[in-house]
Amino acid sequence: MTEFQINDPSLESQWRALILFGKNSATYKFAFAKSLLELIEKETTSITLSEFAKPFARNITEHLKQSDKQGNSSSSKFLNFCRDYNKGVINEAQLLTHTEKLGFVNVVDAFQNVNGGHIPNLFYEKDYSKRNKKIIIKDDLLKLKENFHFQNFENETEARWKLVETAWNLQINPNLLEVKYDEASSLFFLENQFMRRVDITSVRDSLNGYQKGKCFYSSLDISILQGSSDICHVDHFLPHLNKQKHSENGTNINGVWNLVLAHSSMNNTKEKGAKVPDRKYLKRLFNRNEFYISSKHPLAETIINQTGNTKERRRIFLEKQYNLALENSIVTWTPSEEHEGTF
């Protein structure tokens, strides 16, 4: 069990742990996850690898069109067949044949593993006892559809996929890496003196999973879908008005480390304004940032570069920034409605 799950063994946290913290030697697990989400929508209880090959291959080939590197190995027969399909060298039937033979070699067994062990509630089992190999969907996977957070899972998976493939395709020195925040478009992007700007993904989509789909302050359920009554806002934990004060100390207040998602009712309240959140939330911010770092992608490297290369240095950094903000505000803030937090 990951630290992410210690206080929250729920099915949705187990799913998110697989997406956010599972090992990444290739992006197959994201294609596998998105294909499983399609099965949940259709309430499928059993599917052959031959049938599963179609959504799985579709997800891989679509991403290859945007980012050619989908693994950290020097070559892959399966990915080469996917590239051939995109170029029109082979047809769909040929692609699906190769997918069934090569695409599932490791991912079926590896997908449900985190930190060297299985999640407590397995979402599927494989049945390879007969000629037509099958994946048997378990009730716990189908139950995810009944959960409020299911609506966010596809966007969260896609955001995580984009972050991973960005790191592989750009090949930037991790020490020089900084994911930046475009407040106007609510996007994360990369830019340095050697490259043009590259938009990565939505801020909401990439942050939501690490907060377990909850408002950072109130722990109310939040949505990342436009038009939802529970849509979240991107919020600066330490108020944006302190930007000049922090920048004088060499700190980027717009940094990933300081961005959280809050329920719209929090950001709209007059009580909050530009006040500093109560000190109890500082530990939550530290824990949330450590979740990023544990998941190994550009946001992790960015937070390390912005806040420190050890846990203790990151803790001291946050404490210093909090005290600096408190000098300007004095009065702290807590939401009028708050549920028990899980991190």
pLDDT at 314: 97
Full residue range of the structural domain in which residue 273 is found: 151-333
CB count within 10 Å of CB 229 equals 7
203 lies in a domain? yes
Q: Are residues 220 and 102 in the same domain?
A: no
- For residue 170, what are the contacts with CB-CB under 8 A and spacing of at least 6? 190, 195, 198
Q: Looking at 91, 116, 146, which one is the last position of a domain?
A: 146
pLDDT at 7: 79
Where does a domain end: 146, 171, 186? 146
On whether both 136 and 159 belong to a single domain, the answer is no
- Let me know if 273 is exposed, middle or buried by CB neighbors in 10 A (0-12, 13-18, 19+): exposed
How far apart are the C-alpha atoms of 142 and 42, rounded to whole Å? 9
* Sign of the Cα pseudo-torsion (292, 297, 299, 304, in order): positive
**Does residue 120 sit in the same domain as residue 192?**
no
Predicted confidence at residue 250, as pLDDT, reads 77
Residue 1 CB-density burial (10 A; 0-12 exposed, 13-18 middle, 19+ buried): middle
Co-location of 67 and 103 in the same domain: yes
> Environment class of residue 304 by beta-carbon count within 10 Å: exposed (0-12), middle (13-18) or buried (19+)?
buried
Considering the domain architecture, whether residues 138 and 237 belong to the same structural domain is answered as no
**Residue 67 lies inside a defined structural domain of this protein:** yes
Distinct helix (H) and strand (E) counts, the chain: 14, 12
Is the distance from CB of 222 to CB of 232 less than 8 angstroms? yes
Taking the C-alpha atoms of residue 204 and residue 213, their distance in angstroms, rounded to an integer, is 10
In a domain, 343, yes or no: no
* Same domain flag for 264 and 234: yes
Helix (H) or strand (E) holding 46: strand 46-48
Q: Can you give the pLDDT at residue 153?
A: 98
In 63-212, the DSSP E strands lie at 113-114, 117-118, 124-127, 134-137, 179-182, 187-192, 195-202
Q: Are residues 75 and 203 in the same domain?
A: no
Contacts 24+ apart (CB under 8 A), 54-58: 54/96, 56/31, 56/32, 56/99, 56/103, 56/104, 57/82, 57/85, 57/95, 57/96, 57/99, 57/103
Does one domain contain both 94 and 216?
Answer: no
Domain membership flag for residue 340: no
The answer to whether residue 342 sits within a structural domain is no
Q: Decide: 232 and 262 in contact? Cβ < 8 Å.
A: yes
Q: Judge whether 339 lies within some domain.
A: no
Strand, helix or coil at 264?
helix
Digit-by-digit pLDDT tens for the chain (343 residues) are: 568 887 788 999 999 999 998 777 789 999 999 999 999 999 999 999 999 999 999 999 999 999 998 987 878 999 999 999 999 999 999 999 999 999 999 999 999 998 888 999 999 999 999 888 999 999 999 999 999 999 999 999 999 999 888 877 777 666 667 889 999 999 998 876 566 788 889 999 999 999 999 999 999 999 999 888 888 999 999 987 767 777 777 788 999 999 999 998 886 554 566 789 999 999 999 999 999 999 877 788 899 999 999 999 999 999 999 999 988 777 889 998 899 988 8
Same domain, 187 and 54: no
Same domain, 169 and 296: yes
The total domain count for the chain is 2
Q: Which residues of 22-45 are buried (b: 16+ CB within 10 A; e: fewer)?
A: bebebbbbbbbbbbbbbbbeeebe
14 and 139 together in one domain: yes
**Is residue 105 assigned to a domain?**
yes
Give the residue from 146, 165, 192 where a domain finishes.
Answer: 146
How many angstroms separate the CA atoms of 27 and 9, rounded? 25
Residue type, position 333, single letter: W
Q: Is residue 338 part of a domain?
A: no
Q: Same structural domain for residues 22 and 155?
A: no
Contact 111, 22 (CB under 8 A): yes
pLDDT for 211: 95
Are 135 and 40 within 8 A, CB to CB? no
Tokens coding 267: 């950001």
Quote the CA–CA distance of 22 and 17 in Å, as a whole number: 7
